[in-house]
Amino acid sequence: MEYPKKLPLLLLILSSLTPLATADARAHTIETLCTTTLEYNTTAYVPNFIGAMDQIAEQMKSNGSGLAILGVSPDRNYGLAQCYGDLNLFDCVLCYAEARTVLPKCFPFTGGRIYLDGCFMRSENYSFFNEFVGPNDKAVCGNASTAQDGARFGTLVKQAVSSAVTTAPLSGGYARASATLQGESAYVLANCWRTINRSDCAACLSNASEAALGCLPGMEGRALYTGCFLRYSNTDFLNAVPGGRHSKGKIIAVVVTIVSAVVVVGVGLAVGIAIRKHRIIQKKRKGSNDTVKLASTLYNSSLNFKYSTLERATGSFDLANKLGQGGFGSVYKGVLADGREIAVKRLFFNNKHRALDFYNEVNIISSVEHKNLVRLLGCSCSGPESLLVYEFLQNKSLDCFIFDKERGKLLTWEKRFEIITGTAEGLAYLHENSSTKIIHRDIKASNILLDLRLRPKIADFGLARSFQEDQSHISTAIAGTLGYMAPEYLAHGQLTEKADVYSFGVLLMEIVSGKQNNKSQVAVYTDSLPNEAWKHFHSETIEELIDPNILLHSNQYRDAIVADISRAVHVALLCTQENPLLRPPMSKTLHMLLKKDEQLPMPTKPPFTDEKTMELNDMCGDQCEHHNATSSSAATISETAVYGR
């Protein structure tokens, strides 16, 4: 990929940015444990999982923990996330963001848990909230090197662990402790999940402490237990918590200090000051130059917006101006000083894991221009969040209409057909007419925005990829929205423009039917939308598939509209064929939609005809190991809210 000259340093600089926090989010993953039971119905399970994670995200912002139950059995999702007691809310949200990104690697299994150094997250299809012991409980030993005096360090660890384990059940499930002797220290954190009672917390920590102490004489040990977490270290990893998220009476800091002489205190203080100065110097060396370069680069760029300008435009991101929320951030309406209305996409987590997506979106969308692509006005990455600035589109996104019984009445077949062909034009431009081939990777109704006249514009290029003409495909980690991803991409990670063609076919069916392919509203198994369309196509009952809103006021032209829609469904089935070589390119797809007198080829059967078995075969046959491996490093397989990411 060639980076635009006007932003030559952006990727380098963004990757160096760190969140503006006063503490340490400790978002390092210790271990991820997945269940071994396969999910039952993907079209129900995935939305439940994503919805539960969204509910928890809101709770984490104010409580530092969250619980959610969403859906119906057997695809109901139970979710729990909790930060350890010394994290402030800002760092807690960052830690949860990392956990939320990694845990989906467990798909297609029904659940899993992830332990990070700052937080914990678990998801299952059953209620596990009262569990405090399990077969996967274990200790993970870190720094294997031993202290200068192993026996003395062991004594310090045991003393601090005992204090924390005794105190935590009596203080809301959280305690910290330290012990010092002759310049050597041990630090301990003990935390139970909020869902277990005091006695179960005590039992869990008792078992966890015994397991963690098995790491001695090593200088680092962690216990990853069903109901609790415990860590000891010779390094002070604990954050200062006074004035943080814990109320008075719940901040427990047990300090056991054993000092042999006043001289030791003086020496320890001097060493501490020296270490602190060293850390500050190192941080400055690593980040300051890049920050200066970033400010300099963007200051003179036509894409530059000051963070303060966008903050004022949105009323300090007032909830009244919030248009929607997606997997990686929120979108707000803003008004600039000159009266221009804008949409500001606010990415919550301005760190190295989001920098590539931010750069990717700026790079791709700023390099293309088409009437059916949303227009990027600029960006800002000098504040606590990365911000993207887009033209404001009054009617939000397509799914606000086609999946709403009342607003759907505003979309006649003529207007829906204009949206279909406009989206096809935008995709054909990305695939065939821009300087490099661009694959969107997340075509769906929530990423099709509508202007004042309900004309479509493709949005959200955070997952888009570009490649040269001489490349047949890209092998990439899987990312996108289940229900819209092509089978060859989902199973093998091989990306071509035919993945967008497949997604467009699904979108076309949704526009025609008013039904959402990746949402199951009932507990029992239901056909996917492509399979439902296939059956109606072959039984010549397409009229039963059509959204009643389309035919509401069209009695005079009913037969002509049904004929047009039947042809559109025929084209959609050609786009969703299992073999990507049989799917037409987007330019041909657009041609078939507009030239209604031309005969269409017969489509072949769409993939996953028997979803109860076929999805599982594709997801967990020979490809299961590959899928889990690639998903762990991918942007999350997700479903985003009505305004996309």
Query: Between vectors from CA 293 to CA 292 and to CA 298, what angle results, nearest 5°?
Result: 105
| Cβ–Cβ under 8 Å, residues 187 and 236 | yes
Minimal CA–CA distance to 446: which of 393, 491, 409? 393
**Residue 477 region by backbone torsions, left for phi larger than 0, else alpha for psi between -120 and 50, else beta:** beta
Give the pairing type, strands 174-181 and 253-257: parallel
Are 61 and 46 in contact by the 8 Å Cβ rule? The answer is no
Q: Which of 442, 460, 500, 618 is catalytic?
A: 442
Three-class secondary structure of residue 315 per DSSP: coil
**Is 86 part of the annotated catalytic residue set?**
no
Residue 369 neighbours by CB distance under 10 Å: 11
Distance between CA atoms of 513 and 638, rounded to whole angstroms?
Answer: 23
The answer to whether 345 is annotated as binding is yes
CB within 8 A of 7, min separation 6: which ones? 297, 301, 303, 359, 362, 363, 366
CA torsion sign for 267, 268, 271, 273 is negative
* DSSP 8-state assignment for residue 396: -
Q: Quick one: which of 424, 457, 422, 427 has its CA closest to 439?
A: 427
Rounded Cα–Cα distance for residues 360 and 405 (Å)? 36
Phi, psi for 259 (deg, rounded to 5): -120, 130
Distance from C-alpha of 393 to C-alpha of 456, rounded to nearest angstrom: 10
Tell me which DSSP letter residue 300 carries: T
| Contact of 466 with 438, CB cutoff 8 Å | yes
Measured in degrees and rounded to the nearest 5, phi and psi for residue 192 equal -100, 155
Complete DSSP assignment for 426-453: HHHIIIIISSSEEE-S--SGGGEEE-TT
Query: What residue numbers does the annotated binding site for ATP cover?
Result: 345
Please list the active-site residues.
Answer: 442
Query: What residue numbers does the annotated binding site cover?
Result: 345
